[in-house]
Copies of this chain bind each other. A is one copy, B any other.
Amino acid sequence: MISVAQARGRILAGLKTVSREVVPLTEGLGRVLAVSVSARLAHPPADVSAMDGYAVRAADAVAGAKLKVVGEAPAGHPFAGMVGQGETLRLFTGSHVPGGADTVLIQENAQAMPGAIIVNEAPVIGRHIRRQGQDFALGDLLIAAPKRLTARDIGLAAAANYPWLQVFRRPRVAILATGDELSLPGEPVGEGGIVNSNCAMLAAFVAACGGEAVMLPAVGDDVAAIAAAAEAARGADFLVTTGGASVGKHDLVQAGLAQHGFNLDFWKIAMRPGKPLIFGHAGEMPVLGLPGNPVSGYVCAVLFLAPALAAMAGLGEVPPVFEAARLRGSLPANDAREDYLRASLSWQEGGWAVAPFGRQDSAMLRPLAQADALLRRPPFQEALAEGAVVEVLRLVS
Which residues on A are within 8 Å of B, measured CB to CB? 25-26, 28-30, 41, 43-46, 50, 52, 73-78, 92-94, 96, 107, 130, 134-136, 140, 142-143, 150-164, 179-182, 184-187, 189-205, 207-208, 215, 220-221, 246-250, 292-294, 298, 323-324, 347, 350-351, 361, 363-366, 368-369, 371, 389, 395-397
Q: Told that A150-B397, A324-B350 touch, could you supply 8 new A-B pairs with CB distance under 8 A?
A: A26-B204, A28-B204, A43-B365, A76-B181, A76-B220, A76-B221, A94-B181, A155-B369
Chain B residues contacting A76 (CB-CB under 8 Å) are: 179-182, 190, 192-193, 220-221
CB pair A74 B180 closer than 8 Å: yes
CB pair A52 B134 closer than 8 Å: no
CB pair B159 A294 closer than 8 Å: yes
Chain B residues contacting A369 (CB-CB under 8 Å) are: 142-143, 150, 152-153, 155-156
Closest chain-B Cβ to A107's Cβ sits at a distance in Å of 8
Specify the chain B residue showing the minimal Cβ separation from A183. B161
Specify the chain B residue showing the minimal Cβ separation from A350. B324
Report Cα–Cα, A351/B325, bound state, in Å.
Answer: 10
Closest chain-B Cβ to A129's Cβ sits at a distance in Å of 11
CB pair B154 A204 closer than 8 Å: yes
Query: Can you offer 29 A-B residue contacts whose CB atoms are under 8 A?
Result: A26-B204, A26-B215, A29-B204, A29-B397, A43-B365, A44-B363, A50-B361, A52-B248, A75-B192, A75-B250, A77-B192, A94-B179, A94-B292, A96-B192, A142-B366, A150-B208, A151-B207, A152-B298, A155-B202, A155-B298, A155-B368, A156-B197, A156-B366, A156-B369, A157-B185, A160-B195, A163-B186, A164-B186, A324-B350
CB pair B94 A194 closer than 8 Å: yes
Specify the chain B residue showing the minimal Cβ separation from A194. B45
CB pair A180 B77 closer than 8 Å: yes
Report Cα–Cα, A292/B92, bound state, in Å.
Answer: 12
Chain B residues contacting A361 (CB-CB under 8 Å) are: 50, 130, 134-135
Report Cα–Cα, A184/B158, bound state, in Å.
Answer: 8
Chain B residues contacting A41 (CB-CB under 8 Å) are: 189, 195
Chain B residues contacting A363 (CB-CB under 8 Å) are: 44, 50, 130, 134-135
CB pair B75 A25 closer than 8 Å: no
Chain B residues contacting A248 (CB-CB under 8 Å) are: 52, 92-93, 107
CB pair A189 B45 closer than 8 Å: yes
Chain B residues contacting A389 (CB-CB under 8 Å) are: 350
CB pair B161 A25 closer than 8 Å: no
Closest chain-B Cβ to A30's Cβ sits at a distance in Å of 8
Specify the chain B residue showing the minimal Cβ separation from A73. B192
Known contacts A150-B397, A164-B186, A179-B75; A201 and B155 CB within 8 A of each other? yes
